[in-house]
Structures are given as C-alpha cells and as structure tokens.
Amino acid sequence: MDNHNKYSVRCQCGAVEVQLNNNPVVHAFCHCSDCRDLLNIPFHAVTAWNKNDAVIVKGEEELSIYKHPSLEMTRCFCKHCGETVFNTNVMDWRVISQLLISKCNNNEIPENLRSDKHFFYEQRVVDRQDELPKFSRGTDGPLYEDQH
C-alpha cells in the first residue's frame, strides 16, 4: 500500500486481489445486527467503498459468493483459502474489513482508513470505551449519547 489513496487487499493465498482507489465512503465501527448476522461477529471495523473504487483486479473467478437468505447482503470469499475479501450491503458498497487492510499493510491501518465513528450503536452487543462519536443508527442521525 502507498500514501496516494490507492491501496490493495488480497486473500491469504493471493488468488483474489482488490484495488482500492480514492477514499472510502465510510470508515467506522459498525454495530448493526445485519453485520453480526452475516459475519458472526459482535461489531465490524469497516471501510465501505463504492463499487467502482473497490475493483477486483485478480481472481474474480476465484470468488465464492454467499447471499444472505433474508438480507440484501453478500459475503464474497476466496474459493481456495476461504478468506472473506469483502461484503456487499443494501447500498451495493463493497465493505472491506480493517483487519484485512491491516494484514495487507504490515499490520498497519493507514490513518485515513481508521474508524472515525461508530454507527448503529443502539444495536450494539459490546460497549466500546473510546472518544469516537457514537451514532444511534447511520452516520447522519442523532448521537447515541444525546438520546440517553
């Protein structure tokens, strides 16, 4: 990865690679029940990209896609090593884990990709003690602290 707002991530075996251009639409901690249901995690440190800014440059045919049976979400993972490369959501964003970004960047998350907020905090199952703003729902709604 470099410092020119162009990054790449790949699965563990290297069969699939995605190039990330420009900046993500969102870089945050997501606490929504949909992410928990799709990924079996308590919250998700995410970067969300427009489809044309997260381009599969290697191994598109090596991806398997799991479509959630009741949500407009998918999990896209490598057929060979099983690593999730990205998810898609109802807005058709490609959601890439900050953990994968870190793994592909010498265990570092570039400053402009680090979480700068929490959203869907009212749905959380784990409290987070940090100074980041915590939005009750999406990032354009009220802050959780203002409602409680």
Q: Measured between alpha carbons, how far is residue 137 from residues 16, 33, 109, 118, 134 in Å?
A: 33, 11, 25, 9, 9
Q: What is the mean pLDDT of the chain?
A: 93
Q: What is the pLDDT of residues 41-100, one digit of tens each?
A: 999 999 999 999 999 999 999 999 999 999 999 999 999 999 999 999 999 999 999 999
SS3 64: strand
Q: What is the pLDDT of residues 27-55, one digit of tens each?
A: 999 999 998 999 999 999 999 999 999 99
Q: Cα(32)–Cα(18) distance, rounded to whole angstroms?
A: 25
Q: Which domains does the chain have, with CATH numbers?
A: 6-136 (2.170.150.70)
**Beta pairing partners, 77:** 64, 84
The answer to whether residue 2 scores a pLDDT higher than 80 is no
